[in-house]
Amino acid sequence: MQSSTQTLLLGRTALVTGGGRGIGAAIARQLVACGASVTIAGRSVSALKDSADALGCGYVMLDLSDAASVESAFASRTSLDILVNNAGAVKTAPFQKVSNADWDATLAVNLTGAFLCCKAAVGTMTKRGFGRIVNIASTGGLAPYAYAAPYIAAKHGLIGLTRALALELARTGVTVNAVCPGYTDTDMVRSGVAAVAAKTGRTEQEALADFLKGNSQKRLIDPQEVARVVSWLCEPGSDGITGQSIVVAGGEVMH
């Protein structure tokens, strides 16, 4: 006998970009656990296949920097109830050392890719009268960090896109929200901590403490905490929640 949790999203189809690892994998796992039919998307077929096998879901090749790739990935889908724009990338550098190529690449993944996916999904959702779009932004979309100007600009833009689209779709049965994690316990953050420690001569514990200085709870966020918020936004009873930016960051940002 299935539990109530296992049937919350039964019959719903979901696509999670960047779903092969970190926060994306946690989101895919949570949606599967709630009964959804999930597909993860990314650029590496071999990595996607391994992750999909582990998560118990499907996969599709998708390069967010290529509009034709996005169009192709969505063209093969006959229905889509849930879109989670999770894929993201960050490269830190002082502003004057940010190249035009770095700027373009960062916006392509973190903002333009989400725009393309939303554009590909909205038509089907509005025709069916139901849809849930969840954009994984960042606390960096609500408050600035130094040395990451392209990423901060992209995430602020993603929250702006979320709000504008939520207004346009308010009477269609489609909701659009953003979830804004703080520093989360992922390979990407752990690698960043290790890199700072190596560059500064501090221990990894000291470097991590610097990362967490704005977090009132002084801890990394568990990816599963983010995943639960995403699934909650997709579950029955969430119809009235749209245009919101929900922070999961241990009190780092309050708004």
pLDDT of residue 54: 94
169-183, 192-206, 235-249: least confidently modelled range = 192-206
> Helix or strand or coil: residue 146?
coil
Structure pTM?
0.94
Q: DSSP string covering 203-246, please? A: -HHHHHHHHTTT-TT-SPBPHHHHHHHHHHHHSTT-TT--S-EE
Catalytic residue from among 59, 145, 151, 183: 151
pLDDT of residue 45: 86
To the nearest whole percent, how much of the chain has pLDDT over 90?
A: 80
Give the domain ranges of the chain.
5-182+222-246, 186-220
Top-level CATH class of 5-182+222-246? alpha beta
Beta bridge partners of 61: 42
Higher pLDDT, 45 or 161: 161
pLDDT of residue 111: 98
Query: Is the model's pLDDT at 4 over the cut of 70?
Result: no
pLDDT digits (tens, 9 = 90+) for 101-154: 999 999 999 999 999 999 999 999 999 999 999 999 999 999 988 999 999 999
pLDDT digits (tens, 9 = 90+) for 41-90: 998 888 899 999 999 999 999 999 999 999 999 987 878 999 999 999 88
pLDDT of residue 95: 95
pLDDT of residue 1: 44
What average pLDDT does the segment 14-37 reach? 96
Query: Is the model's pLDDT at 178 over the cut of 80?
Result: yes
Query: Is the model's pLDDT at 2 over the cut of 60?
Result: no
**CB–CB of 117/135 below 8 Å?**
no
R_g over Cα of the chain: 18
Closest among 41, 246, 13 to 128, alpha carbons compared = 13
Closest among 158, 159, 157, 152 to 93, alpha carbons compared = 152
What average pLDDT does the segment 168-185 reach? 97
Concerning whether 151 is annotated as a catalytic residue, the answer is: yes
What average pLDDT does the segment 217-242 reach? 97
pLDDT of residue 33: 97
